[in-house]
């Protein structure tokens, strides 16, 4: 009887380990979530008129570090001028890596 409980416990531990690993590996933001974070960031510059983002992340090297990132564009009304920016945002944190 004790051996059976030991095997059940071991099986539960293995299943839990795989579940935790899957949750940790799946920490990437969706493109829509990353775009919303970027819109909030750019709203400090002015009113956001429109924005787009690529649906699939791509590799990006920045300051000697590799990221999975989304690329996109945004139009912001700054005073009376509408300015358009292209941006690169980190797919894991939503941090703005670069814009021009």
CATH no. for residue 73?
3.10.450.40
Give the pLDDT of residue 6. 75
What are the CA-CA distances from residue 75 to residues 6, 13, 37, 38 (Å)?
A: 60, 50, 15, 12
Give the pLDDT of residue 20. 60
Provide the number of structural domains found in the chain.
Answer: 1
Give the pLDDT of residue 100. 94
Tell me the residue length of the chain: 100
Per-residue pLDDT tens, the chain, 100 aa: give them: 578 777 776 666 666 666 566 655 658 999 999 999 999 999 999 999 999 999 999 999 988 999 999 999 999 999 999 999 999 999 999 999 999 9
DSSP per position, 34-70: HHHHHHHHHTTTSEEEEEEE-SS-EEEEETTEEEEEE
Tell me if 2 is assigned to some domain: no
Tell me if 63 is assigned to some domain: yes
Tell me if 73 is assigned to some domain: yes
Give the pLDDT of residue 21. 62
Give the pLDDT of residue 45. 94
Give the pLDDT of residue 63. 85
Q: And the tokens for 84?
A: 């358009």
Tell me if 37 is assigned to some domain: yes
| Full-model pTM | 0.73
Give the range of the structural domain holding residue 75, as residue numbers without chain letter: 28-99
Give the pLDDT of residue 76. 97
Distance CA 61, CA 68 (A): 9
Longest dimension (CA), the chain: 78
Tell me if 12 is assigned to some domain: no
Distance CA 4, CA 62 (A): 52
Tell me if 68 is assigned to some domain: yes
């Amino acid at each position: 009887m004790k051996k059976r409980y030991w095997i059940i416990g071991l099986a539960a531990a293995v299943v839990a380990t795989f579940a935790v690993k899957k949750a940790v590996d799946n920490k990437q933001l969706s493109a829509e979530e990353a775009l919303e974070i970027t819109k909030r960031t750019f709203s400090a510059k002015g009113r956001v008129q429109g924005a787009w983002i690529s649906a699939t992340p791509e590799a990006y090297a920045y300051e000697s570090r590799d990221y999975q990132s989304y690329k996109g564009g945004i139009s912001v009304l700054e005073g009376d001028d509408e300015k358009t920016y292209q941006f690169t945002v980190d797919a894991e944190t939503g941090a703005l890596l670069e814009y021009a």
